[in-house]
């Protein structure tokens, strides 16, 4: 196979075994790779009803057909598990260099199951996959761990937060990139898995090299011609979004009690640059380079982190924002969730000083703070639901669903809870990409959120950076995939695969106990009437209808058939006939 390596590695840490299988052709045909392929493997390896931290539930790392090629922004890969924060299937799309290296090592998928008796790390060098002791690494932060391992290859690892099963724990790769949200670090920790180090020397073969090269040139042109990508992001990194949202008058603050933040200019892209002298730290094959460090290579926060530790907690001190961001990276923590935990905690215990804020963050990283298992659960347990900003346990980031109505539907219907990355409606509603939609209306948003969710599932499966969406469309993606692999996907078929992936994730979540009543927003967003609840609920019902789901949010038989999704049980039954 071109594009795909055809190699799936299964590591069972429970019995210390490494086995390999051929990646099934029909899996990648139907689910592409990355998030989609992992979603398919979850059906084989995971039990939706089991505790996410139970050894049986897998942690799955997948590359996509485009990962590691010279397609712009193709250094991405996926990490997937049942999340201990949301109890849903949870894929993250991760940047850096680790994904490309895993591809060079010849791996489509790395399925990790079981729990090691003692801390271990997995070492991959092309065909060799070894499980090695990691007791000397346990307790070390992510920077130390990476430094100790990186002579052997690219490193992904957890910090202390993952070790202590904090539900906001990330996996950190290549020093400064991290696995989004959802507590993947805790899943690794629950398996006693400290790190994975990978080195690969294989070349990626291309079916139609000339056409593929042309497509790459075109994608680069599109990216450089797109101002949000080539001007905004290229100049200041993602921190430019704070300026944009502030300009649009929708920068939520103080745990969403406010919709504007007075001193936002102190946290602007320009201010960040003046203070830290930003240096681009682009992911593999990225012409934009939204990630930034200082001249010493130390990370500088991106928008999500600036928002979480800035406006969200009423802080306009950019130095403090960066300290908290660095602390999260060291411990392997998701800044959005940590910031949201602090913001909620500040409502319960007012007058917390900024010094105390650092203490709380440290306690979260150490696994000793009340909110470690998730802010949503903690607030429920003390009867303070009114401070909660989470959907399905995942706190909403700094894109206000009251002001960007498409985000309200996107958050409510995302398979991973309050994530902005399931359908980034900020693209159309704020940046006007690929088209400008009125952000204060629900009109037509049900169908568009659905479209962006499916398109995002495609991008997460190819795997490319979500920011490609600001300039490149599904027709171009299909051409790139076809010229790489020799397959013949139409753009429609790609989107259909995205729809298949999204529905399969939904099926998992339903089995995990998610109900239609969970497809909503916390009360805080309805309280001031900016979101009219009837209209919101009507739009959700429209969304179900467009999805081919019944009023309970359950996919109709006909839809599952159309998407060629059948339950494992049925499949076994039919193969036994």
Query: Which alpha helices (DSSP H) does 153-203 contain, by range?
Result: 160-163, 184-190
- From 444, 527, 528, 557, residue interacting with a second copy (rule: CB under 8 A): 444
CA distances from 263 to 301, 338, 481 (A): 17, 22, 45
CB of 402 to a second copy, least distance (A): 18
Distance (Å, whole) CA 220 – CA 222? 5
* The only residue of 377, 451, 530, 559 in contact with a second copy, by rule CB under 8 A: 451
Task: Kindly state the smallest distance separating residue 250's Cβ from a second copy, in Å.
Answer: 13
How many residues contact a second copy, by CB under 8 A?
33
Residues numbered 393-432 forming contacts with a second copy, rule: CB under 8 A: 431-432
Closer CB to a second copy, 187 or 446, in the complex? 446
Question: Should residue 546 be labelled a site residue for a second copy when binding is judged by CB under 8 A?
Answer: yes
Please return the burial class of 577, using the count of CB atoms within 10 Å of its CB with bins 0-12, 13-18 and 19+. Answer: exposed
Peptide bond just before 378 cis, omega within 30 deg: no
From the list 164, 16, 169, the residue with the least C-alpha distance to 81 is 169
Q: Counting contacts by CB under 8 A, is residue 438 touching a second copy?
A: yes
If binding is defined by CB under 8 A, does position 224 make contact with a second copy?
yes
Q: Which two tokens stand for residue 375?
A: 């802010």
**Which position has the token pair 């599109």?**
222
Nearer to a second copy, 121 or 442 (CB): 442
* Measured CA distances, 28 to 180, 323, 461 (Å): 24, 42, 10
What's the min distance (Å) between Cβ of 494 and a second copy?
9
Single out the segment in contact with a second copy by CB under 8 A; choices: 195-203, 342-350, 411-419, 491-499.
Answer: 491-499
Instruction: Give me the least distance between CB of 490 and a second copy, in Å please.
Output: 9
Contact region with a second copy (CB under 8 A), list: 29-37, 474-482, 522-530, 561-569: 474-482
- Measured in whole angstroms, how far is the alpha carbon of residue 514 from the centre of its chain? 19
The answer to whether residue 73 forms part of the interface with a second copy (CB under 8 A) is no
Tell the smallest beta-carbon distance from residue 70 to a second copy (Å): 17
What gap in Å lies between CA 390 and CA 530, rounded to an integer?
18
Output the DSSP codes for 459-517: HHHHT--GGGGGT--HHHHHHHHHHHH-----HHHHHHHHHHHHHHHHHHHHHTT--GG
Q: Please state the closest distance from residue 560 (CB atom) to a second copy, in A.
A: 17
Q: State which of residues 198, 446, 514, 521 lies at the interface with a second copy (CB under 8 A).
A: 446
Considering only residues 225, 354, 551, 566, which one is a binding residue for a second copy as defined by CB under 8 A?
Answer: 225
- By 3-state DSSP, what share of the chain in percent is helix, strand and coil, each rounded to 5? 45, 15, 40
Task: Determine, following the binding rule CB under 8 A, whether residue 540 of this chain makes contact with a second copy.
Answer: no
The correct pick among 210, 349, 353, 435 for binding a second copy (CB under 8 A) is 435
Q: Taking Cα atoms as reference points, which of 30, 36, 16, 220 lies closest to residue 118? A: 16
Q: How far is the CB of 414 from a second copy (least distance, A)?
A: 18
- Whether the link from the prior residue into 137 is cis, omega within 30° of 0, is no
CB of 138 to a second copy, least distance (A): 47
Please identify, using beta-carbon distances, which residue of 126 and 542 lies nearer to a second copy.
542
Q: Which is nearer to a second copy, 124 or 446 (CB)?
A: 446
The residue within the footprint of a second copy, chosen from 44, 49, 359, 492 (CB under 8 A), is: 492
Q: Could you tell me which stretch among 67-75, 325-333, 364-372, 440-448 binds a second copy (CB under 8 A)?
A: 440-448
Q: Is the dihedral of CA 259, 518, 412, 371 positive or negative?
A: positive
Of the ranges 38-46, 449-457, 531-539, 566-574, which one interacts with a second copy (CB under 8 A)? Answer: 449-457
Rule CB under 8 A: is residue 348 a binding residue for a second copy?
Answer: no
- Judged by CB under 8 A, the residue of 455, 464, 504, 507 near a second copy is 455
If one asks whether residue 562 binds a second copy (CB under 8 A), the answer comes out as no
Q: Does 447 bind a second copy (CB under 8 A)?
A: yes
3-class secondary-structure state, position 82:
strand
Say whether residue 314 binds a second copy (CB under 8 A).
Answer: no
> What is the rounded CA–CA span in Å between residue 463 and residue 75?
8
Under the binding rule (CB under 8 A), the answer on residue 287 touching a second copy is no
Segment near a second copy (CB under 8 A), from 13-21, 293-301, 371-379, 489-497?
489-497
**Residue 47: which residues within 8 A CB-CB, separation 6 or more?**
56, 57
CB 164 within 8 Å of CB 366: yes
Out of 55, 227, 287, 486, name the contact with a second copy by CB under 8 A: 227
Please, which residue, 499 or 505, has the CB nearer to a second copy?
A: 499
448 binds a second copy (CB under 8 A): yes
Neighbours of 312 (CB within 10 A): 30
Q: For a second copy, give the closer residue by CB, 125 or 546.
A: 546
How many whole angstroms separate alpha carbon 86 and alpha carbon 562?
Answer: 29
Q: What is the Cα–Cα distance from 306 to 267, expressed in whole angstroms?
A: 7
Q: Which is nearer to a second copy, 301 or 498 (CB)?
A: 498
What's the CA gap between 342 and 168, in Å, rounded?
13
Residues that bind a second copy (CB under 8 A): 218, 221-222, 224-225, 227, 431-438, 441, 443-448, 450-451, 455, 473-476, 491-492, 495, 545-546
């Amino acid at each position: 196979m071109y594009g795909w390596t055809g190699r799936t590695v299964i590591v069972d840490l429970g019995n210390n075994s490494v086995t390999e299988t051929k990646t099934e052709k029909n899996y990648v045909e139907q689910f592409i790779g990355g998030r989609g392929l992992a979603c398919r493997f979850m059906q084989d390896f995971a039990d939706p009803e089991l505790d996410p931290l139970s050894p049986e539930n897998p942690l799955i790392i997948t590359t996509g057909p485009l990962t590691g090629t010279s397609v712009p922004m193709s250094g991405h890969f996926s990490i997937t598990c049942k999340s201990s924060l949301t109890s849903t299937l949870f894929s993250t799309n991760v940047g850096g260099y680790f994904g490309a290296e895993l591809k060079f090592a010849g791996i489509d998928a790395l399925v990790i199951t079981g729990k090691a008796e003692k801390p271990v790390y997995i070492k991959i060098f092309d065909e060799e996959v070894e499980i090695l002791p990691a007791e000397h690494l346990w307790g070390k932060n992510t920077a130390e761990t990476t430094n100790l391992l990186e002579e052997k290859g690219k490193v992904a690892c957890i910090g202390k937060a993952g070790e202590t099963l904090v539900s906001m724990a990330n996996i950190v790769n290549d020093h400064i990139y991290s696995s989004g949200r959802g507590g993947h670090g805790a899943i690794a920790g629950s398996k006693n898995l400290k790190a994975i180090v990978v080195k690969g020397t294989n070349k990626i073969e291309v079916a139609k090299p000339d056409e593929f090269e042309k497509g790459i040139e075109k994608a680069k042109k599109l990216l450089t011609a797109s101002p949000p990508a080539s001007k905004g992001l290229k100049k200041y990194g993602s921190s430019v979004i704070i300026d944009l949202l502030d300009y649009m008058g929708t920068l939520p603050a103080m745990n969403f009690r406010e919709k504007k933040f007075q001193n936002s200019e102190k946290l602007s892209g320009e201010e960040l640059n003046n203070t830290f002298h930003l240096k681009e730290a682009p992911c593999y094959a990225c012409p934009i380079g939204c990630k930034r460090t200082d001249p010493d290579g130390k990370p500088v926060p991106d928008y999500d982190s600036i928002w979480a530790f800035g406006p969200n907690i009423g802080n306009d001190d950019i130095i403090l924002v960066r300290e908290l961001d660095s602390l999260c990276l060291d411990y392997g923590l998701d800044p959005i969730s940590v910031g949201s935990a602090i913001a909620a905690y500040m409502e319960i215990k007012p007058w917390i000083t900024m010094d105390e804020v650092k203490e709380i963050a440290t306690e979260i990283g150490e696994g000793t703070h009340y909110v470690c298992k998730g802010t949503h659960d903690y607030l429920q347990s003390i009867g303070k639901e009114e401070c909660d900003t989470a959907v399905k346990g995942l706190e909403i980031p700094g894109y206000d669903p009251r002001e960007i109505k498409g985000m309200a539907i996107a958050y409510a219907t995302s398979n991973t809870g309050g994530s902005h990355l399931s359908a980034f409606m900020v693209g159309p509603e704020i940046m006007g990409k690929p088209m400008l939609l009125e952000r204060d209306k629900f009109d037509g948003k049900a169908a568009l959120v659905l479209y962006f969710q499916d398109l995002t599932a495609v991008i997460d499966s190819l795997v490319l950076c979500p920011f490609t969406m600001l300039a490149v469309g599904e027709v171009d993606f299909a051409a790139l995939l076809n010229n790489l692999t020799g397959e013949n996907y139409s753009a429609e078929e790609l989107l259909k695969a995205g729809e298949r992936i999204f529905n399969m994730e939904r099926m998992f979540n339903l089995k995990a106990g998610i109900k239609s009543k969970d497809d909503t927003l916390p009360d805080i967003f309805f309280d001031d009437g900016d979101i009219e609840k009837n209209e919101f609920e009507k739009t959700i019902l429209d969304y179900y209808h467009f999805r081919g789901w019944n009023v309970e949010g359950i996919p109709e038989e006909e839809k599952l058939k159309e998407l060629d999704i059948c339950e494992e049980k049925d499949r076994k039954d039919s193969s036994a006939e």
